[in-house]
Structure 1
Amino acid sequence: MKTTDFSTLLTRYLTHYLPVQRNLSSNTICSYRDTFKLLLIFCRDVKGYNIAKLRLPMLDKNCVEEFLLWLANVRGASPSTYNQRLCAIHAFFDYVIAEEPGYMEQCIQIHNIPRKVASSPPAQYLTADSLKLLLSMPDASTRRGRRNLVLLTVLYDTAARVSELVDIRIRDVRLDAPAVITLHGKGGKIRSVPLMKQTVELIRAYFTENRIDPHLHSDMPLFWNAHRQKLTRSGVTYILQKYVEMARKVSPEMPPNITPHKLRHTKAMHLVQANVNPVYIKDFLGHADISTTEIYARADNEAKRAALEKATEHLGLPTFSDWEQDAELIDWLSSLG
């Protein structure tokens, strides 16, 4: 099959530029890939194009805008999903400008397509009492329970993403003062986060019980499964959810669906409530932009507002009323995952 300018650029973009030059994570690349899978399906099924012969000039501003409307109106994409897909398209056409300057005007027109404005819901997090209850659930009289207590404590104390947690190696843990754990984050970014004294003592006891020598076992994962391999993200989620269900039997105040990421939100909220400088919180969480960190300040304000409303409920204040068969390109995109 004869290649087109679009297929050539997209192939280079997904298989070389993003993973090699930008060093983006496989999850991010898969998200970009999925955007173009949807775009190809739209071009085939809605526009009637033979996507095997799709050329770059066919993907003009009008086509992209129609694709975004199709995402929102037909597929029911939320504003955040809409903006995620648009961001992937913007990034691709930024790449096109550098590779094929002859398409600059078309690329600029596409880049001027605005994002959909939508208010973000406040970040969900655990109260101090709920967190304390959750951390009391592992059975500290058993080896597995002690391991899981260390896991949950490190997950909270470092505010690690679950992918960062499972990638921690023994060499990433420093227990001598100042105690820190080095996290390997999104896009290959590395950051070191400080540990509370209680967390340091838990990890130290965990090392002793498992006869871990940081010098001899530096390449071992911090948390491993029965096969001595690092835990998976789903494994961490399973462990957390098990203790959430146990905690709910003790207190109905415990939210039902606590994910590892909500422990990250919880740590961030506790830092906000302790009046830690937002710039420090941004660095602690590994955010690229402080605007991402500001959602926690908004959430704290929302919590304060809810508390104030509850305090005035008794006043009765007035309220308002209520490519050929065209599967070839799509299959190729799928194979990249």
Structure 2
Amino acid sequence: MKPTDLAKALSQYLSVYLPGQRNVSPNTISSYRDTFKLFLTYCKQNGLSIERLTLAQVDEALILAFLKWLEEERNNGISTRNQRLACIHAFFRYVQTEHPVGLVTYQKILAIPMKKTPKPTVNHLTPDSLQLILAQPDPATSGGRRDATLLSVLYDTGARVQELVDLRVRDVRLDPPPVLSLTGKGRKTRHVPIMSNTEVVLRQYMAENRLLHNGAQDRPLFCNRQHRKMTREGVAFILDKYVARARAVSSAIPDKVTPHVLRHTKAMHLLQVGVNLIYIRDLLGHVDIATTEVYARADTELKRKALEQAYPNMVAEGLPQWNQDEDLIEWLSSL
């Protein structure tokens, strides 16, 4: 069977354009791939032959029906719906230059708007809660020492969980000043300093696991029990385990603590001790300072202190207590 124009365009987009011309990460390609797997599944369920599906059949009405199916049948949230739509938009921006004959149809698809979503709150841990979680791994076992090192590095660097699991021995520099090289979104690398306590536990961990000799440069920094590269799910499992233990000790631990919460926590702690937003932006690997400003907007205590410094206290401290005014009490009692 001769491949359709949709099959050719989608194959070229995922296997050549994204990795070759856009140089996007494998995780981004996987996200686009999953979107179109869902889209083709929806088409198949609604009587459309995937083998014969063409670009001319993919119009605004079909995309809107697919988005509705995501929300109503698969119970996806608005943010997930918007993410799928963003992948579809990106594909049709590519298609409109490769197959301009359907430009009007493609532009109608590109005009489908994102749904408004409430701004998510920035969940973070207090210093006491963080210390309690980091104290849970058992230092008497090799697994506990690995987990303690992993969680310490995750917090201290403010790394995304994928950046953490992608770390290799060659990305670690323990000589002063100790630095980790993280490769983030868009395959951009940034160099993040680590604090002395983290450097000590990381050096001990690497010495114990024979990661300091020259032949280990390409080995993953953190491995699972099968001696394979740690996964994002594995990191989340480790964190959940110690969060549950810490919650049994203190009710102050939030209900949900994900690896990304440790990233938020690092940013909030830096902000609270007066570190400039520009430095926090560079540490986290944000492209735009506006992304980092969400932490400043989220910290109500910083807002209160800023207002106290900006304006004098206009309320006198010696105002009389209302419950000592007998005439007022008598009037209130008569109501």
- TM-score w.r.t. structure 1 length? 0.80
- Structure 1 runs of 4+ with >6 Å offset: 302-305
Hey, what's the Cα distance between the residues in 1 that align with 2:44 and 2:303? 50
Tell me the equivalent position of 2:106. Answer: 107
Moved more, 290-299 or 160-169: 290-299
The question of whether the paired residues in 2 share the 8 Å contact of 1:171 and 1:214 is answered with no
Hey, what's the Cα distance between the residues in 2 that align with 1:86 and 1:159? 29
Aligned residues: 304
Tell me the equivalent position of 1:26. Answer: 26
Tell me the equivalent position of 1:8. Answer: 8
**Structure 1 residue 298 displacement after superposition:** 3.5
**Structure 1 residue 227 displacement after superposition:** 4.2
Distance 1:242 1:75, change over 3 A: closer
Task: Report which structure shows greater RCO (CA 8 Å, sep ≥6).
Answer: 1
Tell me the equivalent position of 1:86. Answer: 85
Tell me the equivalent position of 2:159. Answer: 160
Distance 1:102 1:289, change over 3 A: farther
Tell me the equivalent position of 1:75. Answer: 74
Hey, what's the Cα distance between the residues in 1 that align with 2:110 and 2:290? 21
Hey, what's the Cα distance between the residues in 1 that align with 2:207 and 2:69? 58
Hey, what's the Cα distance between the residues in 2 that align with 1:62 and 1:304? 47
Tell me the equivalent position of 2:230. Answer: 231
Moved more, 191-200 or 66-75: 66-75
Q: Aligned ranges for residues 47-58 of structure 1 at < 5 Å? A: 48-58=47-57
Tell me the equivalent position of 1:198. Answer: 197
One-letter amino acid of the structure 2 residue matched with residue 229 of structure 1? R
Task: State the Cα deviation string for residues 238-274 of structure 1 (Å, max 9, x = none).
Answer: 3222221221221121124322222112112222333
**Quick check: 1:119 aligned with 2:110?**
no
- Structure possessing the higher radius of gyration over alpha carbons: 2
One-letter amino acid of the structure 1 residue matched with residue 150 of structure 2? L
Distance 1:171 1:129, change over 3 A: same
One-letter amino acid of the structure 2 residue matched with residue 191 of structure 1? R
One-letter amino acid of the structure 2 residue matched with residue 38 of structure 1? L
The alignment partner of 2:145 has SS state of: helix
Q: Which runs of 5+ in 2 are unaligned?
A: 305-335
The question of whether the paired residues in 2 share the 8 Å contact of 1:122 and 1:296 is answered with no
Hey, what's the Cα distance between the residues in 1 that align with 2:174 and 2:104? 55
**Percentage identity across aligned positions?**
53
**Structure 1 residue 17 displacement after superposition:** 1.8
Tell me the equivalent position of 1:35. Answer: 35
Hey, what's the Cα distance between the residues in 1 that align with 2:112 and 2:169? 46
Tell me the equivalent position of 1:324. Answer: none
The question of whether the paired residues in 2 share the 8 Å contact of 1:156 and 1:267 is answered with yes
Task: State the Cα deviation string for residues 48-81 of structure 1 (Å, max 9, x = none).
Answer: 4333322212222333233323333443331101
Hey, what's the Cα distance between the residues in 2 that align with 1:69 and 1:290? 34
**Structure 1 residue 9 displacement after superposition:** 0.6
The question of whether the paired residues in 1 share the 8 Å contact of 2:272 and 2:302 is answered with no
The question of whether the paired residues in 2 share the 8 Å contact of 1:122 and 1:295 is answered with no
Moved more, 119-128 or 80-89: 119-128
One-letter amino acid of the structure 2 residue matched with residue 16 of structure 1? V
Hey, what's the Cα distance between the residues in 2 that align with 1:95 and 1:22? 11
Q: Which runs of 5+ in 1 are unaligned?
A: 306-337
- TM-score w.r.t. structure 2 length? 0.81
**Structure 1 residue 32 displacement after superposition:** 1.4
**Structure 1 residue 154 displacement after superposition:** 0.5
